[in-house]
């Protein structure tokens, strides 16, 4: 986490230097915009982290291991995919939940399937944004053509995880 903070800080300083050269007023305008965004996003992050901590403590570890653990096979990949499709929320919600499940014993394959399904097929986005903007025929074809990818991505992730000896 410290490494990511340092990299982002260096990038921010470099961007601020470039912005200052272009127009000194960009920096205070950007600071104001980021403060407004922080006021909106920080409460969501706090609630998401709290939710993730609750999930980690209230979900029985034996059920997590049984359904999405290392021995869950294709069943775990399909369960992870299904959960990714139906779970609403953005990355500030999803990533803490995924880390909680990982700590509780979920395997990398179902977790990658979950995140992939959420990104490709998340129903809240499909129903609220895609269908109204693109129409049901286009969304149906896109959704169905993407349906097999999350379990396959989870399967590949499981292979890569072992190949690189992360576990």
Q: Residues 92, 75: one domain? A: yes
Domain count, the chain: 2
pLDDT in tens, 30-83: 999 999 998 988 888 888 888 878 877 888 889 999 999 999 999 999 999 999
Average pLDDT, stretch 14-33? 92
Q: Full-prediction pTM beyond 0.85?
A: no
Tokens of 43: 């409460």
Alpha-carbon span 10 to 161, nearest angstrom: 30
Of the three residues 38, 58, 78, the one that is the final residue of a domain is 58
Q: Residues 35, 85: one domain? A: no
> Is residue 95 exposed (0-12), middle (13-18) or buried (19+ Cβ within 10 Å)?
middle
Q: Residues 66, 136: one domain? A: yes
Of the three residues 58, 80, 100, the one that is the final residue of a domain is 58
Q: What percent of the chain has pLDDT over 70?
A: 99
């Amino acid at each position: 986490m410290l490494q990511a903070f340092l990299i982002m800080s260096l990038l921010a300083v470099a961007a601020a230097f470039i912005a200052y050269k272009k127009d000194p007023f960009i920096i205070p305008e950007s600071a104001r915009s980021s403060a407004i965004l922080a006021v909106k996003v920080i409460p969501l992050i706090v609630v998401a982290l709290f939710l993730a901590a609750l999930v980690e403590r209230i979900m029985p570890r034996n059920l997590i291991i049984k359904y999405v653990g290392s021995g869950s096979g294709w069943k775990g990949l399909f369960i992870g995919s299904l959960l990714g499709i139906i779970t609403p929320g953005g990355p500030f919600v999803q990533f803490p939940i995924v880390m909680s499940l990982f700590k509780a014993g979920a395997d990398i394959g179902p977790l990658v399937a979950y995140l992939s399904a959420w990104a490709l097929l998340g129903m809240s986005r499909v129903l609220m944004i895609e269908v109204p903007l693109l129409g049901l025929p286009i969304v149906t074809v896109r959704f169905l053509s993407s349906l097999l990818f999350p379990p396959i991505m989870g399967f590949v992730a499981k292979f890569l995880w072992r190949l690189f000896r992360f576990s």
